[in-house]
């Protein structure tokens, strides 16, 4: 099992340098996330400086971009990387889609279904396998003159992953996608009991099997070799769980472990700006469901043990390795973790 990394784009030269260092440290994939800068541009910068690692978006926001635009970018990245690019898409939340991007959001599930279906139809048209013809309620594509098509490439079309938390989107993964970007706020039990079950329902509808889906799992870790370092990283993880958990849509992730009502409490505290109160709600017991605490030497083995049986194809991603990436000592520690995971299988 390899360790992947979540990365946030900087300027293009910085993203290029970061990707090269990630590859040198032994990571299996670098997942760029749309934030203040474009995940696609960072992926392009990565393609210019790496030879081995998988490069993907984890995630790129779907709805503000036409599926034709997204498909064209993904197609070029697949060709330029020799097939190392993975297209990871997410719906984001309503406020961002409508008020930051001025785009249509509702209904996000059916809209995402058509988005993925149309992207894959465009891929087939680019490859010359069929004439472009996709008709849906939200997206329609029927025109692709040769001048405007990039044409076939020497590698397969890029896989398409969807970010999912709740059962509808998870079923959609099984129906139309090639992988799932699990939310960083998760427990292995929630993924196995709720999301995997929903994915299997979707797979039954599409006539596929679970080994055709990749589970990409970003993990929040609290890691250190001293009591001080462990305490500091655990408090950082506690804060992240509190903020993610305050999104009431994600309350089932808490409820699966019997923590009913905590999302409502966190949401109310966040509205009041009571950050210490939010942190105090996340007990050590709660924290341990959604994070891994370890010393540096044992972290690789703990990650493998916790996720190896989740599904046939699992990618484990560090959600926090990039936080102190400018520190050479931190990069060296993560390099040892990547080696330990490969050795552990």
Positive or negative: CA dihedral 119, 120, 126, 130: negative
What's the pLDDT score for residue 187? 97
Contact 47, 81 (CB under 8 A): yes
CB atoms within 10 A of CB 272: 10
Phi/psi of residue 63, nearest 5 degrees: -60, -35
Q: Check residue 344 and give its pLDDT.
A: 87
Query: pLDDT under 50 in the chain at which residues?
Result: none
User: CB neighbours (10 Å) of residue 201?
Assistant: 14
Q: At what angle do helices 39-47 and 12-24 cross, to 10 degrees?
A: 60
- Report pLDDT digits (tens) over 251-269: 999 999 999 999 999 999 9
What tens digit of pLDDT does each residue of 313-335 get?
Answer: 999 999 999 998 999 999 999 99
Distance of alpha carbon 28 from alpha carbon 155, whole angstroms: 19
pLDDT at 219: 97
Distance CA(119)–CA(140), nearest Å, equals 11
Cis peptide bond upstream of 78, omega within 30: no
Domains of the chain, by residue range, sit at 3-221+291-344, 226-290
* C-beta separation of 1 from 340 below 8 A: no
Picking from 218, 214, 205, the residue whose alpha carbon sits closest to that of residue 244 is 218
Cα separation of 177 and 171, whole Å? 10
What six digits make up the tokens of 317? Answer: 């991603």
Q: pLDDT for 143-185, tens place per residue? A: 999 999 999 999 999 999 999 999 999 999 999 999 999 999 9
Count of helices and strands (H, E) across the chain = 15, 12
pLDDT at 84: 98
The correct answer on CATH 3.40.930.10 for the domain covering 3-221+291-344 is no
Q: What is the pLDDT, as a whole number, of residue 195?
A: 98
């Amino acid at each position: 099992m390899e360790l992947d990394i979540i990365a946030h784009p900087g300027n293009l030269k910085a993203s290029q340098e970061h990707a090269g260092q990630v590859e040198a440290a032994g990571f299996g994939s670098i997942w760029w996330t749309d934030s203040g800068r474009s995940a696609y541009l960072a992926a392009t910068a990565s393609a210019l400086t790496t030879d081995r690692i998988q490069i993907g978006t984890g995630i790129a926001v779907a709805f503000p971009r036409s599926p034709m635009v997204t498909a064209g970018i993904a197609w070029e990245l697949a060709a330029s990387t020799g097939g190392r690019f993975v297209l990871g898409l997410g719906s984001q939340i309503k406020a961002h889609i409508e008020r930051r991007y001025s785009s249509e959001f509702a209904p996000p599930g059916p809209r995402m279904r058509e988005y993925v279906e149309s992207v894959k139809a465009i891929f087939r048209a680019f490859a010359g396998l069929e004439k472009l013809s996709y008709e849906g309620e939200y997206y329609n594509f029927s025109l692709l003159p040769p001048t405007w098509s990039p044409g076939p490439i020497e590698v397969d079309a890029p896989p398409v992953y969807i970010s999912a938390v709740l059962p509808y989107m998870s079923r959609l993964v099984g129906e139309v996608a090639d992988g799932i970007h699990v939310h960083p706020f998760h427990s292995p039990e929630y993924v196995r009991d709720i999301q995997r079950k929903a994915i299997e329902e979707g797979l039954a509808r599409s006539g596929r099997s679970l080994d055709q889906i990749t589970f990409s799992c970003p993990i929040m870790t609290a890691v250190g070799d001293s009591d001080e370092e462990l305490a500091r990283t655990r408090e950082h993880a506690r804060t992240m769980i509190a903020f993610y958990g305050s999104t009431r849509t994600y309350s089932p992730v808490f409820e699966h472990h019997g923590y009913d009502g905590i999302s409502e409490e966190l949401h109310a505290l966040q509205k009041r700006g009571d950050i210490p109160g939010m942190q105090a709600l996340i007990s050590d017991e709660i924290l341990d469901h959604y994070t891994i605490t370890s010393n540096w030497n044992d972290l690789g083995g703990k990650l493998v043990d916790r996720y190896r049986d989740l599904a046939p194809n699992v990618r484990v991603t560090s959600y926090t390795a990039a936080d102190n990436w400018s520190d050479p000592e931190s990069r060296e520690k993560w390099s040892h973790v990547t080696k330990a995971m490969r050795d552990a299988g």
